Amino acid sequence: MTPLNANFAGLGTTIFTVMSALAVEHGAINLGQGFPDEDGPEAIRAAAARAVMDGPNQYPPMMGVPALRQAVADHDRRFYGLDWDWQTEVLVTSGATEALAAALFGLLSPGDEVVLFEPLYDSYLPIIRQAGAVPRIVRLSPPDWTLTAAALDQVFGPKTKLVLLNTPMNPTGKVFDPQELAALADRLCRWDALALCDEVYEHLVFAGQHHRPLASLPGLRARTVRVMSAGKTFSLTGWKVGYLAGPAGLVAPIAKAHQFLTFTTAPHLQVAVAAGLALRHAYDRGLDDDLAAKRDRLVAGLQRVGFETLPVDGSYFVTARIESLGRGLADDAFCRWLTTRIGVAAVPVSAFYDGPEPPRDLIRFCFCKRPDVLDGAIDRLERGLVVAA
Ligand code: PMP
Ligand code: GLN
């Protein structure tokens, strides 16, 4: 047989799938893969059910159902004062994953350099490499994961085509602050580069912090594409409805890639998400406050058990140091042990690194779970880690 695609054939299965399968196999409480255990608003699910029965059930337009594209444009105007033309500057995709892939394929050429920040979400690099582009990775350090101007100056250069920024950030829960965004904006303009912003957790930012789209900074609208996910915004992760917004000149080639990746996305779900975006109360402070209470509950429990937790300002996730409880195990071995022996699944943070010698003392817990599930997990940890110690 001729050799297979070296990029994909050499990859493992994503850590989220691996840990969820292990959790199912061992009956563990799954705080690994990021998904809520309560489905999002009934009104949105009812709208989808109605649309399955009454239609539309045939191919929607390639760019997305007009009502959803209009709702996304309205959303961005209302929240961030960003003005997009819904017909040419908004594209509906099959989840943020597809939006990111379409954007990378649509915007990159072989040899282009892409600046990324480590730890990074696992879908980015395989697509960047498949596009023939070259990653230039800035490694951020715990506990604050601060991005400095000096670090940016080491990776930006004449070949920099694009920066991929994820804020709020998975797995760290970091929200990039105005100073960090300004430093990045400055380099983007100076080197005439593009930004692809993975902002799927935009509505999962806790009190005291604000989500600021890079696109809303002066001069950045023309060079920035913003990626969002209805799965995150409405606690419906399995729906895989995403969307992106950006200037028409960038969205056009991205739509060309999209038309050959998926072409379109289930129309009933699009119609229902459009209705959901109009229900501002369904995803504004209500979701943040509920999630903040869950974060506090899990963090307090983890600390009681003896974990040192790192600060978290947004997303579904909290990271914890395992040094004191880790039994000398590296993060991946510890997560396996925790899942199979203690009955609580978590994700090793080293899975979010590409470069050599990733940190081995951090694991990620997902807190978007019912309070009784979080308590059950803490109970297991307490019995397994503290009592057995
Ligand atoms: N980006 C980040 C940072 C994520 O955590 C996720 C996972 N949900 C995605 C993109 C993918 O989102 P979607 O499920 O909408 O494809
Ligand atoms: N984004 C989710 C996480 O970080 C997982 C999504 C997936 O399994 N592909 O856990």
Average pLDDT of span 373-379:
98
Rounded to 5 degrees, φ, ψ at 108 are -100, 150
Rounded to 5 degrees, φ, ψ at 341 are -105, -35
Per the document, the length of the chain is 389
Radius of gyration of the chain, Cα coordinates, nearest whole angstrom: 21
**Spatial contact of 209 and 314, defined as CB atoms under 8 Å apart:** yes
Q: Which of 7-21, 206-220, 255-269, 279-293 has the lowest mean pLDDT?
A: 279-293
Q: How far is the CA of 93 from the centre of ligand 1 (A)?
A: 12
Report how far residue 222's alpha carbon sits from residue 257's, in angstroms, rounded to the nearest whole number.
20
Write the DSSP assignment of 58-93 as a string of letters: S---TT--HHHHHHHHHHHHHHH-----TTTSEEEE
Report how far residue 77's alpha carbon sits from residue 350's, in angstroms, rounded to the nearest whole number.
38
Structure tokens at 274: 């459009």
pTM of the model: 0.97
**Spatial contact of 265 and 61, defined as CB atoms under 8 Å apart:** no
pLDDT at 7: 93
**Spatial contact of 232 and 200, defined as CB atoms under 8 Å apart:** yes
Q: Is residue 287 over pLDDT 80?
A: no
Q: Which ligand has an atom closest to residue 200 CA?
A: 1
Rounded to 5 degrees, φ, ψ at 253 are -70, -30
Which helix (DSSP H) or strand (DSSP E) does residue 242 occupy? strand 242-245
Q: Is residue 387 over pLDDT 70?
A: no
Ligand 2 close to Cβ of residue 32 (< 6 A): no
* Range 42-281 has CATH code 3.40.640.10: yes
Find the angle CA(332)-CA(164)-CA(102) to the nearest 5 degrees: 100
Q: How far is the CA of 9 from the centre of ligand 2 (A)?
A: 21
**How far is residue 295 from each of residues 134, 240, 325, 371, measured CA to CA in Å?**
36, 24, 21, 10
143 alpha-carbon distance from chain centroid: 19
**Residues with Cβ within 8 Å of residue 108, at least 6 apart in sequence:** 114, 128, 131, 132, 133, 161, 162
User: What digits encode the pLDDT tens for the residues 45-94?
Assistant: 999 999 999 999 999 999 999 999 999 999 999 999 999 999 999 999 99
User: What digits encode the pLDDT tens for the residues 322-370?
Assistant: 988 878 999 999 999 999 999 999 999 999 999 999 999 999 999 999 9
Ligand 1 close to Cβ of residue 20 (< 6 A): no
Ligand 2 close to Cβ of residue 170 (< 6 A): yes
The closest residue, in CA terms, to atom 4 on ligand 2 is 34
The closest residue, in CA terms, to atom 2 on ligand 2 is 34
In this chain, the answer to whether the domains covering 6-40+285-388 and 42-281 adopt an identical fold is no
pLDDT at 290: 86
Q: Domain limits of the chain? A: 6-40+285-388, 42-281
The closest residue, in CA terms, to atom 9 on ligand 2 is 16
Ligand 1 close to Cβ of residue 229 (< 6 A): yes
Ligand 1 close to Cβ of residue 224 (< 6 A): no
Residues of the chain above pLDDT 70, percent: 98
Report how far residue 85's alpha carbon sits from residue 264's, in angstroms, rounded to the nearest whole number.
19
Ligand 2 close to Cβ of residue 16 (< 6 A): yes
Structure tokens at 57: 């059930």
Ligand 2 close to Cβ of residue 64 (< 6 A): no
**Spatial contact of 332 and 345, defined as CB atoms under 8 Å apart:** no
Q: How far is the CA of 250 from the centre of ligand 1 (A)?
A: 21
Picking from 180, 103, 178, the residue whose alpha carbon sits closest to that of residue 146 is 180
Q: How far is the CA of 240 from the centre of ligand 2 (A)?
A: 12
> Residue 389 — pLDDT band, cuts 50, 70, 90?
low
Q: How far is the CA of 191 from the centre of ligand 2 (A)?
A: 32
Ligand 1 close to Cβ of residue 269 (< 6 A): no
Provide the pairing of β-strand 194-198 with 29-30: unpaired
Exposure on the CB side of residue 344, measured as CA atoms within 13 A: 25
pLDDT at 286: 63
* Range 6-40+285-388 has CATH code 3.90.1150.10: yes
pLDDT averaged over the chain?
Answer: 95
User: What digits encode the pLDDT tens for the residues 304-329?
Assistant: 999 999 999 999 999 999 988 878 99
Q: How far is the CA of 299 from the centre of ligand 1 (A)?
A: 23
Write the DSSP assignment of 325-389 as a string of letters: TSTT--HHHHHHHIIIIISEE-EEGGGG--SSS--SSEEEEE--S-HHHHHHHHHHHIIIIIIT-
Residue type, 63: M
